[in-house]
Amino acid sequence: MLDWLSALGITGTDSSGLSTIVSTLMYLSFIFFILFGQKIQLYTMIWNMSGALKKLEFMKNDAKALTIKTLIELGKPKEDPIPRISGLLEAFFITPVDMDPAGIVWKLDHLMDVRDNKFKDDVKRLAPEADNAQVNNLENLVEGSLALNTIYRIVRHFYLLGKKTQSFYLILQLQMILPLVMQEAEALVGATKAFAQGQPIGDGLGPLVVSKLMKDKEKRKVEKDVVVSELTMDGRNIIALKAEGPGGNVGKPGDAIKQLIKEREGKVDMVIMIDAAVKFEGEKTGGISEGTGAAIGGIGTERFKIEEEASKNKIPVYAIIVKESLQEAIMPMKKEISESADNVITKIKGLIQEQTKEGQTIIVAGIGNTIGVGQ
């Protein structure tokens, strides 16, 4: 190295030659980055994305393998399930046209029912030996794999499109949301493992609270996959409802609440909804908040039904939520969330003592996926 520098006339004693080279290199690199800076950034982003895409591909293959293994173990299919599962993982849903929004809720509700029934039938056919709870868990498992497969396909689409068109802004948009997408995908991998084993997930907090209320009480089934128990608490009549477990199921609490209010000819004095809700970063998992309104997620059809029936009969709707992140909601239930169930019951007692009188009727609805939670 030193010989080479000496040959160029840059000796150890004279440093002016070396500083000329350094300053020339700096000028050249400055010009180089002006001309090719964005291209270099583009290739760096494409390189990062290709790593993320490989990770996503591994995750979706892992989830698919777990789905097939669980289906074979629980359902004992007579023929090879792989082609049908591959078909299910590409399933899609077309939402109704919203140019004329009047009546769209019922159209959406109907289309969702068709989709859910078709999905359940397909899973049942794939797993003829599985019982009802296992079919529900398998359905959730296939849904988890489908979500992972969809994420992989979308990310791959934009990655290849960006690479093909060399569009900096196309790649930049994907790069910006990639950390959130990866978080979601990692949570879905956790969810598929929980569904395969029938473990409760963070979203099951609502059904967990209600299962504690309805323990050892008589139960009856109402609208689609919902169970109801009647009990008394501090002299008030409580109608507790949750989706039927322990299979993975959210039921149709909107229809159930509507039916219960109709059965009592509108004589219900309060509706309390218990659900897991997304926390802000920095908030503590398992923290409880009280509010008003129908606490229920999903596409909105169930919330619409509850709001409509409650406003028709002038019934106040209260909500108690337990805070958790979007990832915690679909991953196996954390201890802090599980332990918050007793505190929620204390809150319910406080709420009914403050807002109702003895002898009044209150509906307590536990909203969420009841996987791993019996009644």
Partner 1 sequence: MKQKKDSLYFYVSVIFSLGVLAYSAWLILSSVLSYNEGQTESFYYSLILGLIGIALSISSLLTMRRRIQIIKTQSLKTLTTEICEKCNFKRVREFKAGDYINKKTEPCPQCKADLAISMIYKESPKE
Which of 199, 313, 327, 355 touches partner 1 (CB under 8 A)?
Answer: 199
Q: How far apart are CA 345 and CA 212, in angstroms?
A: 9
Is-contact 226 253, C-beta < 8 A? yes
Shortest Å, Cβ 180 to partner 1: 17
Asked if 194 and 246 count as a contact pair (C-beta separation under 8 A), the reply is no
- Applying CB under 8 A, does 88 fall inside the site for partner 1? no
To partner 1, the closest distance from the beta carbon of 335 in angstroms equals 4
Does 179 interact with partner 1 (rule: CB under 8 A)?
Answer: no
In what helix (H) or strand (E) does residue 169 lie, and over which residues does it extend? helix 168-197
Q: Is 332 in the site for partner 1 (CB under 8 A)?
A: yes
CA angle (124, 240, 219) in 5-degree steps: 60
Distances in Å between the Cα of 9 and the Cα atoms of 3, 18, 21, 26, 27 are 10, 9, 11, 20, 21
* 282 is a contact residue toward partner 1 (CB under 8 A): no
Residue 331 φ then ψ, to 5°: -100, 165
Helix (H) or strand (E) run with residue 162 in it:
helix 132-165
Tokens of 177: 């949301």
Residue 337 makes contact with partner 1 by CB under 8 A:
yes
Residue 56 in the binding site for partner 1 (CB under 8 A): no
- CA torsion angle for 24, 30, 35, 36 (degrees, to 10)? 100
The residue within the footprint of partner 1, chosen from 52, 226, 331, 348 (CB under 8 A), is 331
Using alpha carbons, select from 259, 264, 248 the residue that is nearest to residue 221.
259
Which of the residues 213 through 232 are near partner 1 (CB under 8 A)? 215
200 in contact with partner 1 (CB under 8 A)? yes
* Peptide bond between residue 246 and the one before it cis (omega within 30 degrees of 0): yes
State in angstroms the smallest separation of the CB of 353 from partner 1.
25
Sign of CA dihedral 212, 215, 219, 224: positive
At residue 286, what are phi and psi to the nearest 5 degrees? 95, -5
Nearest distance in Å: CB 279, partner 1:
16
* CA pair distance 269, 152, nearest whole angstrom: 48
**Closest to partner 1 by CB, 254 or 372:** 372
Question: According to CB under 8 A, which one of 136, 140, 369, 375 is a site residue for partner 1?
Answer: 375
Min. distance of Cβ 72 from partner 1 in angstroms? Answer: 15
Told to check if 22 binds partner 1 by CB under 8 A, we report: yes
245 sits near partner 1 (criterion: CB under 8 A): yes
Using rule CB under 8 A, residue 130 touches partner 1: no
Residue count at the site for partner 1 (CB under 8 A)?
30
Q: Looking at 56-64, 198-206, 254-262, 356-364, which segment touches partner 1 (CB under 8 A)? A: 198-206
Instruction: Give how far Cα 107 sits from Cα of 94, 210, 251, 330, Å.
Output: 11, 30, 18, 28
What's the CA gap between 198 and 138, in Å, rounded? Answer: 9
Q: Which stretch binds partner 1 (CB under 8 A): 32-40, 236-244, 267-275, 333-341?
A: 333-341
| Of the candidate residues 336, 343, 351, 360, the single one contacting partner 1 (CB under 8 A) | 336
From 158-166, 192-200, 256-264, 355-363, give the range in contact with partner 1 by CB under 8 A: 192-200
Stretch that binds partner 1, among 52-60, 147-155, 197-205, 264-272 (CB under 8 A): 197-205
Residue 165 CB, shortest distance to partner 1, in Å, is 31
**294 CB-side CA count, 13 A:** 20
Note the residues at the interface with partner 1 (CB under 8 A). 1-2, 5, 10, 12, 15, 18, 22, 197-200, 208, 211, 215, 245-246, 331-339, 372-375
